[in-house]
Structure 1
Amino acid sequence: MDLKINQQTKPMDIKSRVELIDITSYVEKEVENSRVREGVCIITTPHTCAGIIINENEPGILLDIVNFLDKLVHSGEVYEHNKIDNNADAHLKTLLLGSSEVIPVVEGKLELGAWQSIFFAEMDGPRDERRVNVIVIKK
């Protein structure tokens, strides 16, 4: 079975310490450009303080997500890693989020629910070297 694989990378310009950036339209465009009708789309980020999540793009829930993570992982705690970079909370929050998502491609479109959006979740900005990888694989 021959697989068709299309991979693209998008640089992310991060302005704040914590940002949830909707990348849905970018990912949809890459799926369209791949011309894959049936397959999967894999969205990843190769950073230990940034993640990829799927949720609703509604300001209240986005703030709730950030506040929830802050309650679980306090930035003011004493962490061993802070002796090196003072960003252990960002690493731990990203551990909870994960660094990738896999979404089916059906009839050339992402199989997302009505309210689902894809987000790049930065936990240790500002940064200018972040990136997102979108890989579309034909079934």
Structure 2
Amino acid sequence: MNKHPIGAWTFDEDARPLRQIMGRLVVASPGAGFCPITGDINSWLRNNGALDGLLTLFLRHTSASLTIQENTDPDVQADLLDAFGRLAPEGGGYRHHLEGADDMPAHIKAVLMGVSQQIPVVNGRLDLGTWQAVYLVEHRRQPHQRTLTLHYLGA
């Protein structure tokens, strides 16, 4: 008898006890653009003995974002930055401008892209597809130090 007739399977058939781990990751962004953080996250998972579970990432800022995106062709990132620039341009007549002309567009982009991700962890690594990576997307022109909270729940 086929245990999983629809092609599904269970990673943790030994039902190991769950545990949770929390931590912080600080990312120094060089200014507007995509900052790859997949390697840093996988290192954190490995250093904490994570096996199989779920990782929640939360970016503690309102003018930057988290995304999972193409990791091979840099034109994808450039095209995305251009598209978001058209959606939320500087000089768009915004009321909020106390922190500079790039701040309100950065808030809009962060709302559109989001500040959190949930990613399965399998065998101690993010279970991303071949062409996927996790990025912090800085929407401000100047470099910033950005902080993420990481929460792992799993075996």
User: Does TM-score exceed 0.5, indicating one fold?
Assistant: yes
Question: For the residues of structure 1 that align with 2:116 and 2:134, how far apart are their CA atoms?
Answer: 10
Which runs of 5 or more structure 2 residues have no equivalent in the other structure?
1-16
Alignment-mate amino acid for residue 85 of structure 2: D
| CA–CA separation in structure 2 for the residues paired with 1:107 and 1:13 | 28
Aligned to 2:22: 7
- Identity over aligned residues, as a percent? 26
- Within 5 Å, which residues of 2 pair with 1:1-139? 3-16=18-31, 18-57=32-71, 58-82=73-97, 84-86=98-100, 87-138=103-154
Structure 1: give runs of 5+ residues left out of the alignment: none
- Higher Cα Rg, which structure: 2
Q: Kindly indicate which of the two structures has a greater share of residues assigned to helix.
A: 1
Matches of 1:79 and 1:53, distance apart in 2: 25
Counterpart AA for 1:111: D
1:89-123 deviations in Å (ceiling 9; x for gaps): 01001111100110011232211001000000111
Q: Secondary structure at the match of 1:81?
A: coil
- Output one character per residue of 1:40-79: Cα deviation in whole Å (capped at 9) or x when no partner: 0111210000111000122100101100101111112101
Does the 8 Å CA contact 2:22/2:150 hold for their aligned counterparts?
yes
Question: 1:72 & 1:25 partners in 2: Cα distance?
Answer: 30
With over 3 angstroms needed to count, the CA separation of the structure-2 counterparts of 1:13 and 1:107, relative to structure 1, is closer
Q: Deviations over 1:10-45 (max 9, x none)?
A: 2222232x1210000011111222222221011121
Mapped contact 2:29–2:35 kept (Cα < 8 A): no
Count how many residue pairs are aligned between Structure 1 and Structure 2: 136
Pick which of 55-64 and 27-36 moved more: 27-36
Letter matched to residue 10 of structure 1: L
- What letter corresponds to residue 49 of structure 1 in structure 2? S
Greater shift in the superposed pair: 119-128 or 18-27: 119-128
Distance in 2, Cα, partners of 1:19 & 1:44:
18
Contact 2:54–2:119 (8 Å) recurs in 1: yes
The separation in 1 between residues aligned to 2:35 and 2:80, in whole angstroms, is 13
